[in-house]
Amino acid sequence: MGFSATMWEWFGQDEYGRVFAVCEGLLALHFLAMTPEEQRGAIPYCPACETWSEVMLPLERTLTACAGALPMDIRTRLQSLWEQCNGLTEAAFHCDDWFMFDHAQWQPLRVAAEELKQLMEWQDIEPFREELLEDCRNAIRGIKRPVTE
Tell me the helices (H) and strands (E) count for the chain, helix number first.
Answer: 8, 0
Q: What is the pLDDT of residues 18-37, one digit of tens each?
A: 999 999 999 999 999 999 99
Q: What is the pTM of this model?
A: 0.93
Predicted pLDDT at 147: 67
Predicted pLDDT at 149: 65
Q: In 3D, which of 6, 1, 7, 29 has the Cα closest to residue 20?
A: 7
Task: Compute CA distances 106 → 38, 91, 92, 142, whole Å.
Answer: 13, 11, 7, 39
From first to last of its 149 residues, the chain has per-residue pLDDT tens of 799 999 999 999 999 999 999 999 999 999 999 999 999 999 989 999 999 999 999 999 999 999 899 999 999 999 999 999 999 999 999 999 999 999 999 999 999 999 999 999 999 999 999 999 999 999 999 987 766 76
